[in-house]
Amino acid sequence: MEIKVTDYHQNKGIYSFTIKENKINGITGPDRLELIEILKLKLNKKGKITINKKDLSETDINNLKRNIGIINKYLDSRLNAYKVYECMYQEMRRKRMVLKDPKRKMIDSLKIVGLDISCLTRSVKDLSTSEKKLFQLSIALMSNPEVIIINEFLNNLDLKNEKRLMVLLEKMVEQYNKTIIIVSSNPNILYEYTSHIIITKANEVLIEGNTEEVYQNVELLKNNSIQIPEKVEWTYIAKKEKKAKIDYHKDVRDMIKDIYKHV
C-alpha cells in the first residue's frame, strides 16, 4: 500500500510525504509522532491523503484502518494481567474479526513470528523482553494488515534479537508484500534497515528519499541538529579531515576496506 500525504495540517505543522509500497520506510526527527497521527488516516479538510493513487474518502476509512497495524514502543502494561490467548481474543473483538477457527488464527500468527504455540497459555507478564516484542508483532499480524507501523520497537533489544526481528520484517516485505514503517530516533537502526526515509524538522518534512542518499546530506542534517548514523559520521570525517576519496557504505566491512585502501 502506497500512502501519499499532501499539505496535511497536523497541529502546527503542514506535512507532505510518501510511504513507499512494499518497502521498509523510516520516519525520524522532532515531529515523527505527528506523522504517526496522520498515518492513522484521519480525514482533514486542509490537505489530502491518497492510497495507491486514490483519494481517501470517508467510506474508505474503516476498511483501510484494518489494513494498518501499529506496534508501540512497549506492550500495554494492562495486558500483564492476561494470558496470551486472552489478549489475542481481545484483539479479534476489537478489530471485529469474524473467523471460523479463531484458535488456528492465533497459532498461525504466533508461528509466523517464531513463537511456540505453548505461549498461548502463558501469562503475558512471564514473557521475556524479546518474546513480548514478537508477541506484539503477532497481534499486529492477526488482521493481515498491508502496512505495519513500528514505533521505537527495536529499543532495549540486544543486537542478536534486533537482527532477528528485522529478518522477520524483511520477510514480511519480500514474501507477503507488506509495507513497513519504522519510526525511530535511532539513526543507526534507520540507516541499517530502511530503504526510504522521511526526516521532519520545524513542523514540516526537512528531507525525504533513498535512505543512503538522504544521510549523505551531512551538512544539511548537522545544521538542523539531526543525528547522523555512526557509519556515515566515520566516512564523513575521513572525507573531510583526511581528504579521502571514499564512498559511503552500509556494510561496515566495505567501509573499513575503503578506508584502509584510501586513508
Complete domains list, the chain, with CATH: 1-67+145-224 (3.40.50.300), 77-144 (no CATH), 229-263 (no CATH)
Instruction: Give pLDDT, residue 36.
Output: 92
Q: What is the pLDDT of residues 196-207, one digit of tens each?
A: 999 999 999 999
Instruction: Give pLDDT, residue 262.
Output: 62
Predicted structure pTM score: 0.88
Q: What is the pLDDT of residues 32-80, one digit of tens each?
A: 999 999 888 776 668 888 888 887 666 666 667 778 888 888 888 888 8
Looking at the DSSP bridge assignments, the partners of residue 51 are 3, 54
Residue 97 confidence (pLDDT) above 70: yes
Rg (C-alpha) for the chain, rounded Å, is 20
**Which residues 6+ apart lie within 8 Å of 132 measured at CB?**
75, 124
- At CA 146, angle to CA 144 and CA 152, rounded to 5? 95
- CA–CA dist 83, 125 (Å, integer): 8
Q: C-alpha grid cell for residue 4?
A: 501519499
